[in-house]
Structure 1
């Protein structure tokens, strides 16, 4: 694509995988900022490295590890998701192209989202859980180039992301050392590694799986984890 054609919200393929553009910075060397739809991993690239895709009825893809199929003329459900493909917001609403929105309530054919936007039925496709029979898989531009190993990783992605979310610590988390009954607080996080006040350094996964460290509370809320 040419840079002038790139817009916030567009679905594009980059390195064979489906992404969504969240910002365009014309003066930057890599001017297109995106996240990979299947796991929200952020990446930036040049406009000429991407291929535009317009999502449509019966397209199926992974959104943060979960499989969905886009359906038109399908009633939206409370707690479900919609994809806004034809945005036409009123002046009080704030959404744009290809926004993922969660449904808070349904009013006739329209929905009120958890961001308090009123979205008309003509503007969105319903994200129906699971892969519908006869749907068009759009995770990859060319699925024939994807290894069996990668497809297996995709199948496990939802569980992996759920665990990552559960184990991601924060600065200020206080842990009990079960070996000596001492406590230690996370004072720094460097990429996927935490630094405790004791000087111990552990990866997120090591801390989560450790038998001798037990989470107590975060100093910002002072509440013990139940």
Structure 2
């Protein structure tokens, strides 16, 4: 692709894997800043090294170590959604291909955990798992061969102890207190995880679902 074709939010293939562009910095040699959906790994690259992909109903992919299939239906509370057709009002802040979680839904639309108000035609629901007959889009496979690495990852990610993988930049919500506390991982040193606000926990503690809840859309916008 040429740099002038690159837009924030586009899904692209880079090194054969699916990424989302979160920034374009024209003054830098590696001007395209993207994040790999499979594990939220950030990369810096150039426009010629990426290839645009437009997601559609029936596609399946791994997002943050869990498989999902895109389906077209009205979302309900708790659903994860992909904003594929953004029509924001002047004061709205959401953009193309952001991922969020539904907090409220009615006949007119939904509101999300990040206070986005969306109409039903602006998103696709990310149904957990790979639906039978879905099109895996994790990697671009010109020869049509099975992507064994993704299949192995998918099996691993469904392990009950593999639900949460703390990474720098991930957002967590504290559950064992009446006070609302939401904080970001700012550093990881061995088994120690450092959070904003002065919190220090072990990886075992932050993976305890009774104490901490991962906010699943915590990646650069």
Taking structure 2 as the reference length, what is the TM-score of the superposition?
A: 0.72
Q: Relative CO higher for 1 or 2, CA cutoff 8 Å, sep ≥ 6?
A: 2
- 1:106-145 aligned within 5 A: 106-142=105-141
> What is the rounded CA distance, in whole Å, between the counterparts of 2:200 and 2:60 in structure 1?
43
Greater CA drift, 63-72 or 12-21: 63-72
Q: CA deviation at 1:129?
A: 1.2
Aligned to 2:156: 156
The answer to whether structure 1 residue 220 and structure 2 residue 198 are counterparts is: yes
Q: CA deviation at 1:149?
A: 4.9
> What is the rounded CA distance, in whole Å, between the counterparts of 1:94 and 1:55 in structure 2?
21
Change (3 A) 1:155 1:109: farther
Greater fraction of residues in helix? 1
Aligned to 2:50: 50
- 1:26-105 aligned within 5 A: 26-72=26-72, 74-105=73-104
C-alpha RMSD over aligned residues: 3.1
Q: CA deviation at 1:156?
A: 1.1
Count of aligned positions: 182
Instruction: Give unmatched runs, 5+ long, in structure 1.
Output: 167-188, 195-202, 209-217
> What is the rounded CA distance, in whole Å, between the counterparts of 1:64 and 1:132 in structure 2?
18
Q: Deviations over 1:133-172 (max 9, x none)?
A: 2111100101757763553134314557545329xxxxxx
Contact 2:12 2:52 in 1 (8 A): yes
Contact 1:39 1:65 in 2 (8 A): yes
Aligned to 1:20: 20
Change (3 A) 1:149 1:9: closer
SS at match of 1:69: strand
Instruction: Give unmatched runs, 5+ long, in structure 2.
Output: 168-186, 206-210, 212-221
Q: Deviations over 1:160-216 (max 9, x none)?
A: 7545329xxxxxxxxxxxxxxxxxxxxxx6xx6x3xxxxxxxx33xx79xxxxxxxx
Greater CA drift, 143-152 or 87-96: 143-152
Taking structure 1 as the reference length, what is the TM-score of the superposition?
A: 0.70
Contact 1:64 1:161 in 2 (8 A): no
Change (3 A) 1:136 1:109: farther
Give structure 1 regions of 4+ aligned residues with deviation exceeding 3 angstroms: 143-151, 157-164, 218-223
